[in-house]
Chain A
Amino acid sequence: DAMVIQNPRYQVTQFGKPVTLSCSQTLNHNVMYWYQQKSSQAPKLLFHYYDKDFNNEADTPDNFQSRRPNTSFCFLDIRSPGLGDAAMYLCATSVRGGIAETQYFGPGTRLLVL
């Protein structure tokens, strides 16, 4: 089945220790998104790629970076995680990123910062 895969499902890191979260997709969609979702809150868009074109949200901290080496894979790098970065990180895809397009979400990676 075509899908969005995130690994690992749970990630524990130490305060200030860089961490990378992974996302892959078999849908062959052009657009990949990274969202941060804190407990009982709405998913908040961090950035997205349209193909190789990177689009950062204005309020995304510099501590968050992303890489998309090819169509299938996208990585979220947190350079110096703080306690406030503990959250669920959701990866999503859409065909072209257009209005009314469905976004397909992965199962998420729950990040714990000690």
Chain B
Amino acid sequence: GQSLEQPSEVTAVEGAIVQINCTYQTSGFYGLSWYQQHDGGAPTFLSYNGLDGLEETGRFSSFLSRSDSYGYLLLQELQMKDSASYFCAVYNQGGKLIFGQGTELSVKP
């Protein structure tokens, strides 16, 4: 089966950088994705890592180390609108997503 661990909540100030970690245990690994979900809203795709290394998309970057079963999401130049829950998720062999419990990010002025 699959299990994922990420911190339940993180607080940071506007303009700062924050890193949200995710460790996973899977019977087979097919990639790690990150989704953002604002309160009451739909999850939206942020990034996917299938191979080791860093993927950068604007202010957001995602990193994967398959040997450590570890990834992180890095958010730079934090804005108030970045306050949301962030979910890491792994794919199983059937292409289905298994989500972590989510990290609630609070950005303070």
Contacts and interface: CB of A to CB of B under 8 A. Distances in A.
B87 A42 contact: yes
A102 B48 contact: yes
Interface in B31-51: 31, 33, 40-45, 48, 50
A4 B91 CA distance: 21
A106 interface: yes
11 contacts: A42-B87, A43-B99, A45-B96, A45-B98, A97-B95, A97-B96, A100-B50, A102-B45, A102-B48, A103-B45, A108-B41
A108 B98 CA distance: 18
Interface of A: 4, 40-45, 48, 90, 92, 94, 97-108, 110
- Chain B interface residue bracket vs A: 20 to 34
Nearest to A100: B31
Interface string B73-109: 0000000000000010001001111111110100000
Contacts of B100: 42
Name B's interface SS: loop
A103 B97 contact: yes
Contacts of B98: 45
Contacts of A102: 33, 45, 48
| Top 5 closest pairs, chain A to chain B, by CB | A42-B99, A105-B42, A99-B30, A102-B45, A99-B91
Nearest to A94: B95
A100 B30 contact: yes
A90 B43 contact: yes
B48 A100 contact: yes
Given A90-B42, A106-B42, A42 B101 contact: yes
Contacts of A44: 99
